[in-house]
Structure 1
Amino acid sequence: MKKSLKLGVTGTLLLGLLAGCGSAGTTTGDKNTTSPDAKAAQVNLKATVLPDDLETFKTAYAEFSKENPNIQVQFETIPQAQYYEKLRMQLSSGEDMDLFGGTMDVFLDTGILEPLDDYVKKANVDVSGFGPLYDALKVNDKVFGLPYRKSNWMLFYNKTLFDQAGVAYPKADMTWNDFRELAKKMTKGDGSNKVYGAFVHPWAQTWYMQGVQTGASIIDKDLSAFKKGLQFRMDMEKDGSIMGWAEQITTSAHYNAAFQKGNIAMNLIGDWHVAQLRQAETEKKISFDWDVVPVPHPEGVAANTSLATPVSLMVSKNSKHKEEAFKVVQFMTGVKGAKQFAAKGFLTGYINDDIRKTYIGDGSLKPKNIHYFVEQKEYPEYPLLPGVKNILVNSVYKQEGEMALTGAQTVDQAIQKIGQRVASEWADKYAKDYKAGKK
């Protein structure tokens, strides 16, 4: 009797255990109660993004979390002036971080970037919306980040000044020589009352852009494509139609303040200027009318060919939750994230008809011709390889170009020295280990 009772109790316990293993919950009548263990485990991620992008990331994350409630992302930022330097230090010191945003080239030499090719393939990500930027972002045939936005160049112009002068607005298909002649036509007066036909910022990009528009790269062995751009800038200074480089430096002239002053007919600068001018209008700092047309192009190059600088979202190699981190990358750089960024006026890395419409808006905001931004043929401003921005753009091209602009050397000497320094200061250090993707 005792033996039978013991077996019965053991059998009952065994059935209970089997029932517990076979179901994550228990059913009482028509009500199903799921145990906490059945829910997906919560994953906490940390992301550092650029200051200008922080609020939009948070807005997009609110949508992401509806689809992925188990993935919690803490977004942080660093002041712009210290962003890349401090972020590199944090990553190299092993600070806990899963995702970070910025220009990819800054981090390539750290070994901290997780290659994303397998994740892209596994998730069957549609990369067609990135256009040629997707291949251009590859380094050594690997993808280390996906672009959530990009910065393209455009020609902004003061419609009011053109109306007052009785001169036709800049055309959408305009060569650099056309631009030069138009700038001369729009220049008048002198001293503090002078109206400049154009403003060309001191950055080296404003002159080497002409070579990049032809498909040339600033790391090419043959840099002859960049002679015309540097000479062109010097010629426009001689025309008196743009402020001279030396005057720009001594007066700390800035493209935004200069254009908002109202005495600049045309301003050669990037898409970010749209937000600056809209803000100025909101604050009633400007009263003139303005619009955009594509940047001028070299002879033989298609109209609306511009430079693009992708800004990417990347995954840390040290992340303990790489699969979940990539889900964030996929969302933020894909259709849903791009729509959020486009709605805030950012030019997105991913483009389709719906995002294009969102970016263009309903026509209530300037510029009227904002559509040119999403119709451009793009070349990467520079190869996204380590050292190119820091060594070449910020140092070599800047310094040698300025020597020419101040008359300390000729254009030919500047280009020759740039070529020598590209080889000795950059190529000898990086070229053998890194290969850029296709344009």
Structure 2
Amino acid sequence: MNRKKWVRKLLMVTLTLTMIFPLLAACSNKNDVEPGQERVLRIGVLYGGYGGDDTYFRQQYTDVYEYANKGIRIEIVPAIDASEQRYDNPADGPRKEPDRAEALKKIMTSANPVDIVVTDASQFRNLVQDGMLKQLDPLIQQDKFDTSDYVPTVIDGIKAMGDSNLYGLAPTFYSQALFYNKTMFQEAGVNLPTDNMTWEDMFTLARRVSKGEGADRQYGFSFNRYRGGEPFWDIIQIYNPPLNLRVVDEKGERMTVNSPKWETVMSTFAKLVSEKVIPGGDNQDMDMSGGGEEYNPYSHDSFLSGHVGMVIGEYSYINSDLADAMKNAEKIKGFKKFDWDVVTVPSHPEAPGVAGGVSLNNIFSINQKAPNPDDAWDFIKFVNSEDWAKIRSRSSWEMVARKKFITPKDGANFNIAAFYTVKPVPPTSADPNELFIQMPNAWQVQEPGQTLFKDVVSGKKTSADALKEWETEGNQILQQLKKNSKDPVQGNVYGD
């Protein structure tokens, strides 16, 4: 090797090491203590993995903190042991699911309570209302911890659940946006979608870009990108939650679908399907094998295949499929490259800016009875810090809460703010999803609605008649499930 090159390389290595060693030394010397003499920080999570394996959670949140803080030893405490399910005997009848709220409260009020709890939005709201979480606002002010860079989706969402106060912080969030085929709109001479549209605004645009028949049908909108899908389940999960439209009442005792609001929803979407503005599930032109198209890796994707002008998709869709497809367009037979962008998911006039499909699943809070509140706050500051967000922002699957580190990857140019300017649906006093956890077979009350929705689309029934029938059938199922839960010998006649 040339001596000058060798000397230059040695110098570069030396300089690099002189930068790294002090950093490692600073980390390794901080709070250095003898083994077994550490302070214990206990973090409560809802579910524990099989065999007590908490590797994933530690890799995501605690390993780096423990390395940098030798005086701290972190224990992960699950409120519910998920491994117990493997020992259930189906012959014993339906499994009674543990009460998630009570399980969390138990590890927060035991003789050795956890310092921190990590919850989803529903459990977080319940704990706030029960006064079990420490308010963070005074700590934030005391330490001048900057939250001004937090995106509205996170900071406003958490404040809304805490009566304008902060009882927790979430370092990441899950969000969706409305993707649209810009080329399709421009060719049709239709104005492009915009942020903050109402659902009716979006439906109007969808009608204007819908055209063609059979295999060439171009739909204006679809709730999801999977060809052959139908809107019924997405109506329940995305469209209805901001309206607080439930299928079953909060106690899980009776159906709530026979109402004027539900009738409006069913009539609206039945018309959109019958007009072929949105796919309805039975449309053969949306089938993956239909139309004589050549197979390609994205045949299943209605948006990438050009069958849909607008679709709701998650942030990860960009990096997992969309960007990759455009990059390799020339290698895909029959694939037509197009320009695209995103805007905020439409909202209802009754709940402006609130979008279904947006969620905060890991909110970190301090237990009011925490034995070690100072270390708890230090840890929460760490996982919500700029340094942590900078590293975590490399993920293609989730978004960090700090706006500074939310940027398009690889020089892409799109309206990324659409993902973080909407607000999540505020949890109600009784989360509908909690009902289906406590009553594992309660989901069956939704099945008649799927069939009856198709009858409305085909004109066999009116929306009003279909909803009355759904109410009757659903109430019968609820009564039977309630009876079976009291009579385990009889088992579950609606079985899994």
Per the normalisation by structure 1, the TM-score is 0.61
| 1:371 to partner: Cα distance | 1.3
The aligned counterpart of 2:22 is none
- Matching of residue 133 in structure 1 with residue 133 in structure 2: no
Sort the Cα spacing of 1:386 and 1:288 in 2 relative to 1 into closer, same or farther, 3 A. Answer: same
In structure 1, the residue corresponding to 2:362 is in which secondary structure? strand
The aligned counterpart of 1:241 is 277
**Paired AA for residue 403 in structure 1:** T
Q: How does 1:253-402 map to 2 (within 5 A)?
A: 257-278=301-322, 280-281=324-325, 284=328, 287-299=337-349, 302=352, 304-307=353-356, 308-313=358-363, 327-333=378-384, 336-344=387-395, 350=401, 355-361=402-408, 364-366=411-413, 368-376=414-422, 378-380=423-425, 383=428, 385=430, 388-389=433-434, 391=436, 395=443, 398-402=446-450
The aligned counterpart of 1:412 is 464
**2:134·2:167 contact (CA, 8 Å) conserved in 1?**
no
From 172, 177, 185, the equivalent of 1:162 is 185
**Paired AA for residue 344 in structure 1:** S
In structure 2, the residue corresponding to 1:154 is in which secondary structure? strand
| 1:295 to partner: Cα distance | 2.5
From 162, 170, 179, the equivalent of 2:202 is 179
**1:107·1:386 contact (CA, 8 Å) conserved in 2?**
no
Sort the Cα spacing of 1:132 and 1:320 in 2 relative to 1 into closer, same or farther, 3 A. Answer: closer
CA RMSD in angstroms comes to 5.7
Sort the Cα spacing of 1:339 and 1:43 in 2 relative to 1 into closer, same or farther, 3 A. Answer: same
| 1:239 to partner: Cα distance | 0.9
In structure 2, the residue corresponding to 1:118 is in which secondary structure? coil
The aligned counterpart of 2:493 is none
Q: Write the distance in 2 (CA, Å) between the matches of 1:131 and 1:360.
A: 19
**Paired AA for residue 374 in structure 1:** Y
**Cα offsets for 1:341-383 (capped at 9, x unmatched):** 4453566584xxxx213213488225x111122222x241753
**Paired AA for residue 257 in structure 1:** D
**2:33·2:71 contact (CA, 8 Å) conserved in 1?**
no
The aligned counterpart of 1:28 is none
Q: Write the distance in 1 (CA, Å) between the matches of 2:272 and 2:372.
A: 51
Sort the Cα spacing of 1:359 and 1:36 in 2 relative to 1 into closer, same or farther, 3 A. Answer: closer
The aligned counterpart of 2:133 is 117
**1:224·1:415 contact (CA, 8 Å) conserved in 2?**
no
**Cα offsets for 1:145-203 (capped at 9, x unmatched):** 75343333421111232234343322334333332232232223333333222223446
**Paired AA for residue 347 in structure 2:** H
Q: Write the distance in 2 (CA, Å) between the matches of 1:118 and 1:251.
A: 52
| 1:333 to partner: Cα distance | 4.5
The aligned counterpart of 1:29 is none
**Cα offsets for 1:61-100 (capped at 9, x unmatched):** 565346533345699xxxxxx99978x89x98x99x9888
Sort the Cα spacing of 1:104 and 1:344 in 2 relative to 1 into closer, same or farther, 3 A. Answer: same
The aligned counterpart of 1:432 is none
| 1:292 to partner: Cα distance | 0.7
Q: Write the distance in 1 (CA, Å) between the matches of 2:198 and 2:383.
A: 37
Structure 1: 5+ residue stretches without partners: 1-33, 76-81, 430-439
Q: Write the distance in 2 (CA, Å) between the matches of 1:72 and 1:245.
A: 53
Sort the Cα spacing of 1:142 and 1:251 in 2 relative to 1 into closer, same or farther, 3 A. Answer: farther
| 1:267 to partner: Cα distance | 0.5
In structure 2, the residue corresponding to 1:404 is in which secondary structure? helix
Q: How does 1:53-72 map to 2 (within 5 A)?
A: 58=59, 61=62, 64-65=65-66, 67-71=68-72
Structure 2: 5+ residue stretches without partners: 1-30, 50-54, 77-81, 87-96, 108-112, 225-230, 251-255, 290-297, 483-496
Q: Write the distance in 2 (CA, Å) between the matches of 1:325 and 1:203.
A: 43
The aligned counterpart of 2:38 is 41
- Over the matched positions of the two proteins, sequence identity in percent amounts to 15
Aligned residue pair count? 374
**Paired AA for residue 70 in structure 1:** G
Sort the Cα spacing of 1:341 and 1:195 in 2 relative to 1 into closer, same or farther, 3 A. Answer: same
**Paired AA for residue 297 in structure 1:** S
| 1:397 to partner: Cα distance | 7.4
Sort the Cα spacing of 1:259 and 1:38 in 2 relative to 1 into closer, same or farther, 3 A. Answer: closer
**Cα offsets for 1:210-258 (capped at 9, x unmatched):** 4544x5453587964444333222111011122113449x958999722
**Cα offsets for 1:97-139 (capped at 9, x unmatched):** 9888674658999x9xx98613747855878854342255569
Sort the Cα spacing of 1:256 and 1:332 in 2 relative to 1 into closer, same or farther, 3 A. Answer: farther
Q: Write the distance in 2 (CA, Å) between the matches of 1:270 and 1:300.
A: 24
Q: How does 1:222-237 map to 2 (within 5 A)?
A: 224-237=260-273
Q: Write the distance in 2 (CA, Å) between the matches of 1:189 and 1:61.
A: 54
Higher alpha-carbon Rg: 1
**Paired AA for residue 412 in structure 1:** A
Q: Write the distance in 2 (CA, Å) between the matches of 1:338 and 1:322.
A: 25
The aligned counterpart of 2:490 is none
